A and B are shown apart, each in its own frame.
Chain A
Amino acid sequence: MSARLEGELLEVSMGPQHPSTHGVFRMNVALDGEIVVKLKPVFGYLHRNHEQIGERTSYLGTMPYTDRLDYFNSMSNNWGYALAVEKLAGVEVPERAQYLRVILAELSRLQNHASLLGFLLSDMGAWGTPLMYAFREREKVLDLFESLAGSRMMCDYMRFGGCRVDADAAWMERAKKIVYDFPRFLDEFEELILENEIVIARTQHVGRVSAELAISAGITGPMLRASGVNYDLRKVDGYGFYPRFKFRIPLGEHGDTYDRLMMRVLEMRESIDILKQAFEAITPGPITNPKVKVRGFRPPAGECYGRIEGPKGELGFYLISDGTGTPYRYHVRAPSFINLTILEDMCLGHTVADVMVILGSIDIVMGEVDR
C-alpha cells in the first residue's frame, strides 16, 4: 500500500487531567494521522477570581494570594506585587531588604528552572528519574524558604517597603552552601541530557518561534530570549538592586525547544553568579520601612504598573487606587498565560507527541494562567 490514505481529521481532547499538561489544561487537537493541523487551548479550569478578590481585600491581603498565582515562585510574585504597590505609594525599601529580595528571587529562579528541566524530560518520556534529580535540588531551596518564611511554597514573605523576617547568619551560610554546591548538580544534569541523542532528536527544530512572532505575540522571559531577542527586565528596567550586579543575559538562536531548554540551564548559571555577588554585598541593617503601616495601609489615588522579570517572563501587576484601603482595579499580567497564546503556531505540523514537549518548554503554571 503505497498510496496515502486520505481520511477525516481525528479530534483529540488532551487534558485536562493529563500528567503532561502541568495542571488542568486542555487542548483540543485536530490530527491528520499523527500531525497536528489545529490546536485550540482551553483554559479556565483553575479560575479562582484572583483579580476580583484583589479588589475586595486590602492591599496587604492580596499579598498571600499572589503566592498562589505561580505557586513555584511565590517569592518573585511577592516581589512583583510589592514593587507595584511601592511604586503606587512611593515607598522606599531599605538596602538589606533589597538584597534579600534579589537573593530570594534568584533562588526561586534556580528551583523553577531546575524543576522545569525535570518536567520537560518527563514530558519527553524520561519518566521520573531526571525529575527526581531536579526535585532533590529544588527541595533544598524550598527548605531554605521554609526556614526563613515559614512555608515552602506559600512564602508570603515580602511586605510593602521590605521583607517580613530577617535572615540570620546561619541561614545565610546554608544558602551559600546550597548555591555554591549547585553547579555540581548543573554539571551532572547537563551531562545527563545535553548530548543525549533522544533529547536532541526530540527538541531540535521542534516548536520554533521566530523573533518576530515572539515579539508580536508579547512573549517574554526565557522563551523570548531563546528566539534571540535580548530583553530582560532585570537589565531593561533595572528594578531593585539588579543594576549593582554583573551578569549576562543568555540568548538563543533558533527559538526551538532545545534553545528554550538550554536557556534555562544558562540562566541558572547566571543566577548563581548573581547570588554569589549578593552574598558578598549584603550588609546588616533594617529590613522594613518603618513608615509603612501594617494596618489600614492606604496608598494615594493613582495608578501604576509594577513588573519584574519572573522566572517565566514579565510578571506585571497593574493597580488603580482611589485612595481607599482596597484597589479600585487590580490586574495581573501573567507571563505563562501570554506565552501560552502562541501554542498553536508552535505545534502546527508537529506530531502529537511533540505537543507535550513544546508545551513543557513554555513553562506554564496553571495557577497563573487561569488566576
Chain B
Amino acid sequence: MTGAGILKGMAVTARNFVGSYFEKERLTTVQYPEERAPLPENYRNFPFLVFDGDEAQAGLRCVACQICEKECPPQCIYIVKSKDKKPDYMGKPQFYPATFDIDISVCMSCQICVEVCPFDAIKMDKVYELSRRERFDALLMDKHELAKSNSYYHGIHPTEATEVDTRLAEAAAKKKPAPPATAAPPAVAAAAKAATSAPAAEAVVSGTLPAKPTPPAT
C-alpha cells in the first residue's frame, strides 16, 4: 500500500517523541549554559605552564629550552631565554623563560608541545569559554597568565599528574640522594592517595574550576 512506509516512519518519530519524556537515551541534550556536560579527564584544549611551590614565576619548571617553540606545528609559541640562571624546583641553576607567549587564537590544541617537553613543564588545560571582545591581543597569553600550579594540574588531570610527579621524584632521587628542600615527594604521595581515593575529577567542570587549587585531600 502506498503510504505504509511513511506511516511506519511516523510511528518511529512518534516513538522517539513520546520516548524522549521517559527515556534518558532518547533525550540526550544538555541545556547549556545552565547545565554543563562533565569534561572527561583526558580533555585538553590549551597549554599552560606548570609551576611548583607557591611562587608562580620562581617555580616554573620551564627551562626555556625552546624545543616546544620549534616543534609547535602552527608556531604559536614565542620564547625568549633568560640571560641569567635561577634555581629550578630541584635547586639546580637553570635558564628560565624571560618571555613565554602562546597565542591561544592560533594554537590548535594538538598537545605536541606537551609531548616534546623533556621537563614536564607544559601541560594541557581544560578551560573553555575564552571568548574575548578584542580581536588580537587578548588571547595572546604571557607567562604570567600561563603559569598554573602543580596542584591545579592535579585537579584537572589527576592520573597523569600523579604519574608525572612520580617520574620527577624518581629522577630527582636518582640524581641526588638528598634533594634540598623539595616539596615534590610528600605532595606526590598525597596526590597519589587522592587520585586513587577520589576519581571524581571527571566531574570537574571547567567554568567553575577554582582559581586557587584545592589542596589534595589526605
Q: Bound pair: A and B?
A: yes
Q: A residues engaging B (CB < 8 A)?
A: 53, 57-58, 60-65, 129, 133, 136, 139-140, 143, 146-151, 154, 156, 164-165, 188, 191-200, 294-295
Evaluate whether A295 and B67 lie within 8 angstroms (CB atoms) in the complex, with A147-B41, A148-B42, A197-B5 already known: yes
Q: List, in ascending order, chain A residues with CB within 8 A of B93's CB.
A: none
What is the number of residues of chain B that contact chain A, defined by CB distance less than 8 Å? 33
Q: List, in ascending order, chain A residues with CB within 8 A of B118's CB.
A: 295
Stretch of B53-61, B109-117, B141-149 on the interface side? B109-117
Is B108 a contact partner of A154 (Cβ separation < 8 A)? yes
- In-complex Cβ contact of B115 among A150, A192, A198, A294 (8 A): A294
| A164 CA / B43 CA spacing, docked (Å) | 13
Evaluate whether A156 and B6 lie within 8 angstroms (CB atoms) in the complex, with A150-B43, A294-B116 already known: no
Q: List, in ascending order, chain A residues with CB within 8 A of B73's CB.
A: 53, 57-58, 61-62, 64-65
| A327 CA / B212 CA spacing, docked (Å) | 45
Contact with A along B51-94 (1 / 0, CB 8 A): 00000000000000001000111000000000000000000000
| A76 CA / B116 CA spacing, docked (Å) | 24
Minimum Cβ distance to chain A for residue B21 (Å)? 15
Is B124 a contact partner of A139 (Cβ separation < 8 A)? no
Is A154 a contact partner of B41 (Cβ separation < 8 A)? no
CB-CB nearest 7 A-B residue pairs: A195-B5, A64-B110, A147-B40, A61-B73, A150-B44, A196-B5, A192-B12
Q: List, in ascending order, chain A residues with CB within 8 A of B72's CB.
A: 61
Q: Show 9 A/B contacts (Cβ-Cβ < 8 Å), sorted by A.
A: A58-B73, A60-B112, A63-B110, A147-B42, A147-B43, A151-B44, A154-B110, A192-B9, A294-B115
Other A-B pairs, 17, CB within 8 Å; known A60-B71, A192-B13, A197-B2: A57-B73, A58-B71, A61-B72, A61-B73, A136-B26, A140-B28, A143-B40, A150-B42, A151-B43, A188-B15, A188-B16, A191-B8, A192-B9, A196-B9, A199-B5, A294-B115, A294-B116
| A112 CA / B102 CA spacing, docked (Å) | 34
Contacting residues of chain B (107-137) with chain A, CB-CB under 8 angstroms: 108-112, 115-116, 118, 124
Name A's interface SS.
helix
Q: List, in ascending order, chain B residues with CB within 8 A of A198's CB.
A: 6
Q: List, in ascending order, chain A residues with CB within 8 A of B13's CB.
A: 129, 192
Minimum Cβ distance to chain A for residue B36 (Å)? 14
- In-complex Cβ contact of B40 among A53, A57, A63, A146 (8 A): A146
- In-complex Cβ contact of A195 among B8, B42, B45 (8 A): B8
Is A295 a contact partner of B116 (Cβ separation < 8 A)? yes
Minimal Cβ-Cβ distance residue in A for B75: A57
Is B42 a contact partner of A149 (Cβ separation < 8 A)? yes
| A219 CA / B161 CA spacing, docked (Å) | 47
Minimal Cβ-Cβ distance residue in A for B1: A197
B180 at the interface (CB under 8 A from A): no
Minimal Cβ-Cβ distance residue in A for B73: A61
Q: List, in ascending order, chain A residues with CB within 8 A of B3's CB.
A: 197
Q: List, in ascending order, chain A residues with CB within 8 A of B211's CB.
A: none
Is B108 a contact partner of A64 (Cβ separation < 8 A)? yes
Q: List, in ascending order, chain B residues with CB within 8 A of A147's CB.
A: 40-43
Q: List, in ascending order, chain A residues with CB within 8 A of B45's CB.
A: 151
Minimum Cβ distance to chain A for residue B170 (Å)? 18
| A140 CA / B28 CA spacing, docked (Å) | 9
| A278 CA / B111 CA spacing, docked (Å) | 28
| A45 CA / B42 CA spacing, docked (Å) | 34
Q: List, in ascending order, chain B residues with CB within 8 A of A136's CB.
A: 26, 28
Minimal Cβ-Cβ distance residue in A for B26: A136
| A63 CA / B45 CA spacing, docked (Å) | 16
Is A188 a contact partner of B112 (Cβ separation < 8 A)? no
Minimum Cβ distance to chain B for residue A290 (Å)? 14
- In-complex Cβ contact of A61 among B40, B42, B44, B71 (8 A): B71
| A37 CA / B8 CA spacing, docked (Å) | 37
Q: List, in ascending order, chain B residues with CB within 8 A of A154's CB.
A: 108-110
B4 at the interface (CB under 8 A from A): yes
| A58 CA / B3 CA spacing, docked (Å) | 58
| A199 CA / B5 CA spacing, docked (Å) | 9
Minimum Cβ distance to chain B for residue A140 (Å)? 8
Q: List, in ascending order, chain A residues with CB within 8 A of B5's CB.
A: 194-197, 199-200
Evaluate whether A188 and B12 lie within 8 angstroms (CB atoms) in the complex, with A58-B71, A196-B5, A295-B116 already known: yes
- In-complex Cβ contact of B112 among A64, A129, A146, A197 (8 A): A64
